[in-house]
Copies of this chain bind each other. A is one copy, B any other.
Amino acid sequence: MHERRTITGFSNPLVKLLRSLRDKKHRKREGRFLAEGLRLLTDARLSGTLPEMLVMATNRQPHPLLEELECAVGDAGGDVVEMDEAILAKVTGKKNPQAVAGVFAEFDTHLTSIDRTAAPIWLVAYEMRDPGNLGTMLRTGDAVGAGGLILIDDCADPFSVEAVRASMGAVFTQKLARAGWEEFLGWLRQGEGQLVAASLRNAVDYRNAAYSAPCFLMVGNESQGLPQACEDACDLRVTIPMLGRADSLNAAIAGAVLAYEALAKLRKN
């Protein structure tokens, strides 16, 4: 039986720390992020990632997955912390005695941590500002067997609660890297890799394009798209049909349509 700490006061410094992890500045300073919910924490565990700290309500109902999680965290030398439901609600923002949260160390997000030969597809987000879109890109990446997501320039924080939630656990299985545009391009050109983006200039129909692995599928900012310099640097520009009034898709949708097309073509080769 591992030791559990019990927190009884709202003003406990740990409660303040946990709440502060909802804020990007504090996440960065602490090098930690928060993931919530038994399903997400179980996905993390099954992917081989355990929280440094597991937080749950004193009056929770027993659940076999939660017991396994608690044992695993304890075995790994992590912290298991109980607190009153009302205090936990301050941390998670949810009035739910079954709420559970984990504190994780942020991963290495240097480009050097990426082995481009490990997967046929990589997703690239250029200045994507919506954390939900980033999480959805991670989830789609997992589904198409991508290696990970590379964040260029000023993107939303992939370790925000919203992004982690939308990733449905893929934040723990997909590689994540952050880089400036020039840094990324320099790294890309040091090895094999086809850079692909949706574009309206000098582009071919995305269904007839010659995708090749490792294929880096780049999606632009939600309102501005990609700057011309980024499009010009691409090895392949493709168009996705737009038959209606609008001239663009949601960024995560565009990424998914491209990724599934590339997957189908690459599997045929």
Contacts of A46 in B (CB 8 A): 245
Contacts of A144 in B (CB 8 A): 241, 243-244
A143 B243 Cβ-Cβ under 8 A: yes
Residues of A at the B interface (CB closer than 8 Å) are 43, 46-47, 132, 136, 139-145, 166, 168-170, 173, 207, 240-246, 248-250, 252-253, 256-257, 260-261, 263-264
- Given contacts A249-B256, A250-B166, A260-B257, whether A143 and B244 have CB atoms under 8 Å apart is yes
Q: In the complex, which of the residues B170, B241, B256, B257 contacts A246, with contact meaning CB atoms closer than 8 Å?
A: B170
Bound Cα distance from A64 to B248, whole angstroms: 23
12 more A-B residue pairs beyond the given contacts A47-B245, A136-B250, A257-B257, with a C-beta to C-beta distance below 8 A: A139-B246, A139-B249, A139-B253, A140-B249, A143-B241, A143-B243, A145-B243, A166-B250, A173-B245, A249-B256, A250-B252, A257-B260
A207 B264 Cβ-Cβ under 8 A: yes
Bound Cα distance from A260 to B263, whole angstroms: 14
Contacts of A141 in B (CB 8 A): 244
B139 A245 Cβ-Cβ under 8 A: no
Contacts of A250 in B (CB 8 A): 136, 139-140, 166, 168, 252
Bound Cα distance from A6 to B239, whole angstroms: 47
Bound Cα distance from A76 to B245, whole angstroms: 23
